[in-house]
Structure 1
Amino acid sequence: MSDKYPDDSGRRRFVKGVVGGATLAGVGATGATAINSATSSSGAGGGSTQAMAIENIAGPAPRGMPQIPIEIDDEGYLKGIWPEVKTIEQNGVKIKVAELEDYKGSGVTYTSEWFQYCGVESYAGIQPEYESDNYFISGSNPGYTWQSEAYSEGDRLHVDDFSDYKDWGNGVGKSGLGKGATGRWRSEDAEDTIPIQVVRSEKIEEAAKDDPWLKASTQDGFMAWLNKCTHFCCVPKYKTDGSAKFNAEDDVYCQCHQSVYDPFSIVQTLFVARPRPQ
């Protein structure tokens, strides 16, 4: 797999801006058309949305997977930030939205609409007022052996369990790029599970020093995203078995249809978020 952009294009930076709404909207045009037609029904929120996402670099996925800003509590547990809930008027109707403008001075508007795709818009946990402590939770079938050894189902992810992130490699590709974990978010007492992926990496630490968004949305090298492939909504994984034959051993690879994402390339992506069912 080769990079989508030439080395001298300047596109392979850690954080990249929108090329232009019309240009990005044209990427994966068939998917965008399908989403537009699917959002014509009534519902809350939705519409044209710019999200910060880990970049899709290969395969059929039309765009990256949206990032989840994180924080670490006083005891070292990881949690995703949920935007402030407020009431707005949309098309003459007052609705509840979860949105934070200029998130921590980054210039980015962070909204729950980032996650309104692949049916997630209908999940209880994506509703603005869903009650949750927002911790990242390890599931009953975690994606990595180390998680099975460190956690039981329902345990919260903790920074101490990533202490070897500068050496870890999962036996796939290069070691030392960063340590991954899988889990769920805002899904306790809910029928549907919101899958997430967390990575801790020195590359994230370094990039956050000079980038306002990464400085605001990551902490101590930890970064997270909603782990739903934007192609057919499968659940990819960072440093997963079988990815090497697609040159994706150091990336996030979706085994369903071979979409590949670069967790260390954060881009601003434009798409049509689906409205939440009313």
Structure 2
Amino acid sequence: MSEPEDKYPEESGRRRFVKGVVGSASLAGLGTVAATGVETTTAPTGAGGGITQFYGPENTAGPAPRAMPQIPIEIDDDGFVKGIWPEPETVTEQGREVTVSRMQLGDITYTSEWFQYCGVQTYPGVAPEADQDNFFRYASSPPYEWQQEAVEGGEKVNIEHFEDYETWSNGIGEGGLGKPALATWRSQDVPPSGTLPIQIIRSTRIRDMAEQGNEWLSASTQEGFVANLNKCTHFCCVPGYKALASSARFGAADEIYCQCHQSVYDPFNIVQTSFVALPRPDEE
């Protein structure tokens, strides 16, 4: 029997590890599917569980099983960038009243369940009715020199900080592809352990695809800005776009790269996929 394809780059020296992870992940997947079958008979998906379709930057290498979830964007009249969050509503599902956060964005159902993995389902900001203003705010310890010098941690993200996005470069990979920032979302006045980390990129590629008829990007991005929840779908590490020079060794200088286990995501190829959203803590 031939060996399964190894997603790790050979130079990473992680072949033995990845086979173990893939094997255990396959077994875990069987358990997850079985558990999901039980869960769907006992808890409504609106309470935070079940098979969920979502959009995100495609996983192209490494052991991550899927894309990271995209955060749809809007920009207010003052140029501040924020994530779209569906209004909460109370519905009856399976004979039980639950609070859901769900909306139609374009032709897609966008819900808070997109972000319910890696323990994030327990974070305060993921609760549908959480009292948050949805503005993106800069992270306190970013890897980008421009962000360290031009803005303060906790400051709201504004479009004026990205005026050079068509030419920006930090010497990692090709210049002019997009200007990045690390930020937080729906995390005001919550413990650090409950902070939602996000990756923001403003790019001509995203802008052009939206303007040229990509229906989803037209609905979910604005002025070339695209964002994702920055939690690797492998082991929940925090990746980065053009954040590490070492990403070039793994063919990821122009992609979102997770240094922990070399998972790679293409921020300019937003794909639709699915996963089993984990349930939020019972609020009753």
Give the TM-score, by structure 2 length: 0.84
1:187 corresponds to which residue?
187
The one of 175, 195, 208 equivalent to 1:206 is: 208
Q: Which residue of 2 aligns with 1:110?
A: 110
Distance of 2:153 and 2:74 partners within structure 1: 22
What is aligned with 1:254? 258
- Structure 1: gaps of 5 or more residues: 5-27
Q: Supply the distance in 2 between the matched residues of 1:234 and 1:85 (Cα, whole angstroms).
A: 29
Q: How does 1:199-238 map to 2 (within 5 A)?
A: 199-209=201-211, 210-238=213-241
Greater helix proportion: 2
Tell me which residue corresponds to 1:157: 157
Q: What is the aligned counterpart of 2:30 among 33, 50, 53?
A: 33
Deviations 1:129-169 (A, max 9, x none): 00111000112112311111111121011111111111112
Amino acid at match of 1:245: R
Using the TM superposition, give the Cα deviation of residue 30 of structure 1 relative to its aligned residue in structure 2, in angstroms.
4.6
> Residue 121 of structure 1: SS of its match in structure 2?
helix
2:258, 2:59 → 1: CA distance? 11
User: Deviation of residue 35 (structure 1)?
Assistant: 4.1
Distance in 2 (CA, whole Å) between partners of 1:193 and 1:170 is: 27
CA RMSD after TM alignment: 1.7
Shift of 1:88: 2.2
* Alpha-carbon shift at residue 29 of structure 1 (Å): 4.4
How far apart, in 2, do the equivalents of 1:145 and 1:94 lie? 48
The 1:154–1:38 alpha-carbon spacing in structure 2 relative to 1, beyond 3 Å, is farther
In structure 2, do the counterparts of structure 1 residues 108 and 63 end up closer, same or farther at CA, with 3 Å as the change threshold? same
Cα contact 1:38–1:274 (8 A) shared by 2: no
SS of alignment partner, residue 82 of structure 1: coil
Q: Which amino acid aligns with 1:71?
A: E
* 1:45 Cα deviation from its structure 2 partner: 2.0
Are residues 1:240 and 2:243 paired?
yes
CA 1:262–1:87: 2 relative to 1, 3 Å: same
Corresponding residue of 1:7: none
Query: Share of identical aligned residues, percent?
Result: 55
Distance of 2:188 and 2:229 partners within structure 1: 16
Alignment-mate amino acid for residue 209 of structure 2: A
Unpaired segments ≥5 residues, structure 2: 1-6, 8-24
1:100 aligns with 2:103: yes
Cα distance in 1 for partners of 2:243, 2:35 equals: 33
AA at the equivalent of 2:63: P
Identify the residue that residue 197 of structure 1 maps to in structure 2: 199
Aligned to 1:77: 80
Task: State the distance in 2 between where 1:184 and 1:37 align.
Answer: 34
Tell me by how many angstroms 1:193 deviates.
0.4
Q: Secondary structure at the match of 2:108?
A: coil
User: Partners in 2 of 1:148 and 1:37 — Cα distance?
Assistant: 46
User: RCO (CA 8 Å, sep 6+): is it higher in 1 or 2?
Assistant: 1
| Largest Rg, 1 or 2 | 2
Q: Distance in 2 between matches of 1:107 and 1:53?
A: 16
